Structures are given as structure tokens and as C-alpha cells.
């Protein structure tokens, strides 16, 4: 016989509605968080404000560059490039431990792209000498040709400039106020420093050849991890914190739903069912002996009624009621039905009595097994 799961329709509807509410609530929280993030004036890939990097992020992604947000600094990526964009101070400042970890990561072969004065702390941690300066808004021509400037003729910058007086730096673009783009090798790794973070923002990426410059810089080392942790979009190391606002809201709402479900299932919704009052053993023994006397005397009707009553009592004693017992033992139901059919007649033959009695006795043995 094929097994089928028994599902309470009311419970199934309640669970379906709960899942739908959780999904809609999570989507609402995610949409609200996304809208709030879009208006924050920081160089974040989540921000659509003029100071944000959302246009850059989508442009690189559409150009085939593997771009990802980095929202924790406990464990750095195994490979790729980390981009730190912004002017000092960032929303969350670097700790000494984070700077040491990042410097060791670069020396082992990592690439870090710095844009803006926030990169000064990273440069110091790497042991390079450099400083930041200010210049005029201008379109600066490229000073040299190479992979980073292939097809790039002019770079539109605001006021950011570099004073790279360390011989490890190779100045690629700049003007009289200082360097605009410089590169340095640090053991097995590399540092690319763009002096002006505004050149990569939503407001200025379309100017001059800024978009192409960004593509050349970031396409060389993939995947590209944009540092969102120090822009204030941090997620901690625990699994719950990494879910983000929408995921956390969904988990909390699901937990509340499960708690309410358990509370509802554990409370009685109606009056208690009275326990079946089992007759004393003397009474049952008396009935059994009386049925035997009836059979010997040829009183078929009385004997069949007695053993039928014994089966009904056995079902009630074992399962709480005869109806509940019949659900578990269909043969008992058939035996009771056959006995009731014969008892409803005026007369029954010896063979009919024996057949019905045999069914009732077998069913009772099955119930009491």
C-alpha cells in the first residue's frame, strides 16, 4: 500500500501565508536598505550619489570585470585586487592590525588600488614614502604609455595630487602640482595609486578618458574587491551578520513564526476528551464465560452479541474509541459490520454464526496482539 503524508490543510495554508509574509518583508527591508544606501554621499559601490561608485561598479561588471564588495576585513581574499577609494578620513578608520594584515597580503603577491588621500596610511604601512598635495581642476595628459594607459589620452581630475619622492614609485601621469597616477612594486605585490578619488565617482567617471582608465587599472587583477568595510557598509564575521538587513529580518520573522506555531500547537483548543472507563476484569471475564455458555446452548444471537461487545470494548480500551480503533484495524470494522448484519436478522444459520464469530475472534486477537 502506497504511503501518503497526512497534511492538515489549515496548517498548510498558515505555513504558506507565513512564508509569503517573510519573503515580502525581506524584500521590503532589502529595498529600503538599497534606497537608503543610494543617497549616502560616500565613495561606495552601493551609492548613487555624485560621490558614489555605483556607476563605476556597473561599468566594470558590464565590461566583464569580476567585481565584488568587501564588507569585512577579518579575512582578506586569497587573490585579486583590493580597491580602497576615498579621501581621509574614511567612515571607519584602519586599525594597526588591519594595515599590517593588508601590507603582508600585498607582499605575498596581492594588488591594492588606492584612489584618494585615504591610501596614505596603506602606503606608510608598506614602507613607501609619499605624500598628498593639492592642485587645480584639470585634464592631465598621460606621461608614458603602458598597459594602464592604453588608449587613454587625458585624465580629468579635481584637486588631488601625489608627491611620490620614493624611487620605488613610477609616475605615469601628472602635472606641475604633482603626480596623478603612480605605480610601485612591493616584493611580490603591486600598489597602484590614483591621486584623485573623484575621477572614479559617479559625477566624473564620464569625463575625459576616466572610464577607460578605470577599466585598464582594474582589469589587470581580478577579482576586484571594493573596500566597503571602511565606507561604513560592514558585515561582521558571524553567519547571521553576513546575511545583511533583509536576511536578518527574514530569519527573525521566521523564528517568531515558528515560536507562535509551537505555542499554538502546544495549547489545547477544546475540552479534554474523557478517558474511556474500562470495566473491571471480573465483568469482562463474566462476559467471555457467558458467551461460551450461549454457544454451547445454541443461543447464537446472544453468543454473537457477547463476543461482538468484547471486540468493541477491546478497540475502545486500546485506541480510546471503537471508531479510532477501526481506522487502525479495518478487519475489525468488517467483523463488527458482519456481526451487526446478522444480529439485525430474525434468524441466522449455524454456518453464518460460525463465520461471523470467527471474524470477530480473529479481529480481537489482532487488536490485542
Helices (H), the chain: 9-38, 54-62, 96-107, 120-125, 210-219, 239-242, 244-266, 281-297, 300-319, 322-328, 330-343, 350-367
What was the pLDDT predicted at 18?
A: 73
Burial level of 25, CB count in 10 A (0-12/13-18/19+)? middle
Q: Quick one: CA dihedral 216, 219, 220, 226, positive or negative?
A: positive
Instruction: Give the closest residue to 288 by CA, choosing from 270, 265, 311.
Output: 311
264-293 pLDDT per residue, tens? 666 665 666 666 665 544 444 545 565 565
Sequence-distant (6+) residues with CB within 8 A of 325 are 314, 315, 316, 318, 319, 332, 367
d(CA 115, CA 360): 91
- Domains of the chain in start order, with CATH, are 43-231 (3.40.50.880), 281-367 (no CATH)
Instruction: Tell whether the model's pLDDT for residue 192 goes beyond 50.
Output: yes
Residue 346 has pLDDT above 70, yes or no: yes
Q: What is the pLDDT of residues 196-236, one digit of tens each?
A: 999 999 999 999 999 999 999 998 778 999 999 998 887 65
Angstrom distance (rounded) from CA 196 to CA 180: 7
For residues 293 and 296, what is the distance between their CA atoms, to the nearest angstrom? 5
Q: Output DSSP code: residue 90.
A: P
State the Cα–Cα distance between residues 16 and 5, nearest whole angstrom. Answer: 17
pTM of the model: 0.57
Quick check: helix, strand or coil at residue 210?
Answer: helix
Each residue of 61-105: pLDDT tens digit?
999 999 999 988 889 999 899 999 999 888 899 999 999 999 999
Amino acid at each position: 500500500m502506497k504511503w501518503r503524508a497526512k497534511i492538515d490543510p489549515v496548517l498548510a495554508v498558515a505555513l504558506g501565508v507565513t512564508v509569503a509574509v517573510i519573503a515580502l518583508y525581506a524584500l521590503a527591508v532589502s529595498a529600503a536598505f538599497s534606497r537608503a544606501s543610494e543617497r549616502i554621499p560616500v565613495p561606495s559601490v552601493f551609492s548613487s550619489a555624485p560621490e558614489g561608485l555605483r556607476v563605476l561598479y556597473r561599468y566594470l561588471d558590464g565590461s566583464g570585470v569580476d567585481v565584488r564588495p568587501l564588507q569585512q576585513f577579518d579575512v582578506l581574499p586569497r587573490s585579486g585586487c583590493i580597491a580602497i577609494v576615498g579621501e581621509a578620513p574614511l567612515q571607519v578608520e584602519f586599525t594597526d592590525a588591519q594595515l599590517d594584515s593588508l601590507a603582508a597580503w600585498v607582499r605575498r603577491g596581492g594588488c591594492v588600488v588606492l584612489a584618494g588621500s585615504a591610501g596614505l596610511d596603506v602606503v606608510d604601512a608598506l614602507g613607501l614614502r609619499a605624500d598628498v598635495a593639492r592642485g587645480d581642476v584639470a585634464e592631465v595628459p598621460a606621461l608614458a604609455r603602458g598597459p594602464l594607459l592604453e588608449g587613454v589620452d587625458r585624465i580629468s581630475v579635481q584637486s588631488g595630487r601625489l608627491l611620490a619622492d620614493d624611487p620605488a614609485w613610477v609616475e605615469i601621469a601628472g602635472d606641475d602640482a604633482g603626480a596623478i597616477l603612480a605605480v610601485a612594486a612591493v616584493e611580490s605585490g603591486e600598489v597602484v595609486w590614483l591621486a584623485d578619488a573623484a575621477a572614479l565617482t559617479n559625477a566624473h567617471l564620464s569625463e575625459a578618458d576616466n572610464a577607460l582608465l578605470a577599466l585598464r587599472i582594474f582589469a589587470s587583477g581580478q577579482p576586484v574587491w571594493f573596500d566597503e568595510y571602511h565606507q561604513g557598509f560592514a558585515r561582521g564575521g558571524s553567519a547571521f551578520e553576513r546575511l545583511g538587513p533583509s536576511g536578518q529580518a527574514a530569519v527573525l520573522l521566521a523564528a517568531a513564526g515558528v515560536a507562535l506555531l509551537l505555542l499554538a500547537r502546544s495549547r489545547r483548543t477544546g475540552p479534554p476528551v474523557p478517558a474511556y472507563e474500562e470495566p473491571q476484569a471480573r465483568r469482562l471475564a463474566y462476559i467471555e464465560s457467558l458467551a461460551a455458555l450461549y454457544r454451547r446452548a445454541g443461543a447464537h444471537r446472544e453468543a454473537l452479541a457477547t463476543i461482538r461487545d468484547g471486540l468493541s470494548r477491546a478497540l475502545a480500551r486500546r485506541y480510546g474509541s471503537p471508531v479510532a480503533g477501526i481506522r487502525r484495524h479495518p478487519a475489525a470494522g468488517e467483523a463488527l459490520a458482519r456481526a451487526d448484519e446478522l444480529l439485525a436478522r430474525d434468524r441466522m444459520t449455524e454456518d453464518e454464526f460460525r463465520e461471523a464469530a470467527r471474524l470477530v475472534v480473529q479481529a480481537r486477537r489482532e487488536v490485542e496482539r
